[in-house]
């Protein structure tokens, strides 16, 4: 039987005579169900709507034709938080594999958007106070570790061995440095355990380089950069302090 209706339960089976749900589709060939909108216009969709509670259309999944090629389709995920507002798209996977949350046009593997001006997009481990014992790791390779590339660890306040610490770990290779830049230019670098300010190749534990020789200022009671009492240490072109 290709189509079977269990009259005792009302369940419908396709490819099975023992459906265990309202609709069950079984196949041994890898084929399943196709919902197709043949309109060849960008933005056209084919939707599966899912519902729970008193209203039966509070979530949906859509196939979205991107209009940039015959087979270019995105997958969109929609939810509803108010009846009057209807379903709203919150996440999309494009035909190129980019994932957008709060945006329908992600330009990178993961793009986050949403909120008004000065809003904060937070990625967290979703722990609570007194059980903040997780760690979030951003890694450049699948098996994170210094031998595989750089990574950043953000430790929760109650995590054993981390205790609120931020770890910046460079790859264990030549050139595996940690660099800090502002206004489009590098300002500081940690290289082989040595710190360089104004130089990318420090020769000592701390090297401060300045093209004008004004290398270091020691101030008294300066919270906003307007100290009246300070001492400047400068180095001449001959290396004299």
Q: 88-121, pLDDT tens digit by residue?
A: 999 999 999 999 999 999 999 999 987 778 888 8
In terms of C-beta density within 10 A (0-12 exposed, 13-18 middle, 19 or more buried), how is residue 130 classed?
A: exposed
Angle at 93 between CA 149 and CA 114, to 5 degrees: 90
Reported pTM: 0.75
Long-range contacts of 47-51 (CB under 8 A, 24+ apart): 49/87
- Token readout for 79 is 């939810």
State pLDDT tens for residues 21-43: 999 999 888 888 899 999 989 99
**Dist CA 102 CA 60 (whole Å):** 16
**Dist CA 207 CA 52 (whole Å):** 64
Cβ–Cβ under 8 Å, residues 97 and 106: no
């Amino acid at each position: 039987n290709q189509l079977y209706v269990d009259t005792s339960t009302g369940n419908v089976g396709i490819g099975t005579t023992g459906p265990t749900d309202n609709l069950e589709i079984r196949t041994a060939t890898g084929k399943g169900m196709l919902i197709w909108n043949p309109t060849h216009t960008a933005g056209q969709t084919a939707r599966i709507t899912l519902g729970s509670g008193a209203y039966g259309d509070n979530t949906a999944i859509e196939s979205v034709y991107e209009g940039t090629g015959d087979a270019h389709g995105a997958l969109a995920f929609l939810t509803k938080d108010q009846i009057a507002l209807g379903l709203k798209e919150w996440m999309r996977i494009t035909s190129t594999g980019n994932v957008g949350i709060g945006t329908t046009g992600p330009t990178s593997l993961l793009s986050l958007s949403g909120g008004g001006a000065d809003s904060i997009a937070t990625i967290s481990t979703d722990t609570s106070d007194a059980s903040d014992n997780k760690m979030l790791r951003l890694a450049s390779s699948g098996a994170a570790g210094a031998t595989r590339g750089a990574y950043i660890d953000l430790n929760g306040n109650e995590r054993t061995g981390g205790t609120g610490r931020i770890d910046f770990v460079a790859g264990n290779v030549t050139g595996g440095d940690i660099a800090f830049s502002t206004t489009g230019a590098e300002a500081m670098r940690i290289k082989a355990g040595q710190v360089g300010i104004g130089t990318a190749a420090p020769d000592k534990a701390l090297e401060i380089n300045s093209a004008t020789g004004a290398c270091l200022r020691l101030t008294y009671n300066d919270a906003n950069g307007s100290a009246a009492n300070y001492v400047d240490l400068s180095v001449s072109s001959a290396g004299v302090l």
